Amino acid sequence: MRETFHRELEKLDQDVVRMGALVEAAIEQATLALAECDLDRAQKVMDGDDAIDDLFLDIEKRALSMLAQQQPVAGDLRLIVAILRAVNDLERSGDLAFNIASVVKKDIDIVKLRKVSALVYELGHASRRLLSRALDAWTDKDVVVAASLDDLDDEIDELYERLFRELFALQNETSFEVAMNLVLVGRYFERIADHAVNLAERIRYFVTGDEEHLG
């Protein structure tokens, strides 16, 4: 009975990584769609959000069922709690990728704003890289890698501030609508990074049992 339980728990753990890969791909494609003003690519990101949501609901349902039926303790309990929190962060990150793609669908062309376009691409790349590192840490349950993500998050905060300053400097060269949408995009990327850091916190909670890393 316990052997079956642990096989199911291992599969659940692996599905977190599978969901993370879908979210990571969505962020990458949304970034490219924005940088290239590619409406078709943006639509594919939006269409793919259903697969992320479906997997989220499936993992959540299975995890809650294991909690109710198996009443796990110690490390097994911590892992299930960490999984429930982690997939919530991943689902929200997927929604943010959807939101970025939605901005592209408004036909917001940033290609001519070279500095802004470069900063947006850099922000998207950095947030995806941060999530990728978090997923690697999750796979290996590596608290050292998880702890290192705070520095990358600071880098993304700095990029967002640079984007805001650049848009302010261009206030006479672009419309208010374009500027506000790009401020939102920057905020979406910043929130993706925050969710990646949250994912790292779940790892630290699972490994150490310290509830400081649960919230």
Report d(CA 135, CA 34) in Å as an integer. 24
Percent of the chain past pLDDT 90, that is, above it, reads: 55
Report the domain count for the chain: 1
- Fill in the amino acid letter for 2: R
Binned at pLDDT 50, 70 and 90, residue 173 comes out as low
For residues 142 and 131, what is the distance between their CA atoms, to the nearest angstrom?
14
Which domain covers residue 185, as residue numbers?
2-213
Which of 93-97, 108-112, 180-184, 187-191 has the weakest average pLDDT? 108-112
Band (pLDDT 50/70/90 cuts) for residue 65 is: very high
Report the distance separating Cα 22 and Cα 94, nearest Å.
8
Q: Round to whole Å and give the CA distance between 109 and 70.
A: 53
pLDDT band at 188 (very low <50, low <70, confident <90, very high): very high
Structure tokens at 183: 């401020």
Assigned token pair, 104: 């592209």
Band (85; pLDDT cuts 50, 70, 90): very high
Closest CA to 213 of 78, 88, 23: 78
Mean pLDDT of 99-121: 79
145 Cβ contact partners less than 8 Å away, ≥ 6 residues apart: 133, 136, 137, 200
Q: What CA–CA distance (Å, rounded) separates 16 from 133?
A: 14
- pTM, two decimals, is 0.91
CATH number, position 155:
1.20.58.220
Give the number of residues written for the chain: 215
Separation between Cα atoms, residue 107 and residue 168, nearest integer Å: 21
Quick check: helix, strand or coil at residue 72?
A: coil
Enter the tokens of residue 22. 């879908």
User: Chain-wide mean pLDDT for the chain?
Assistant: 88
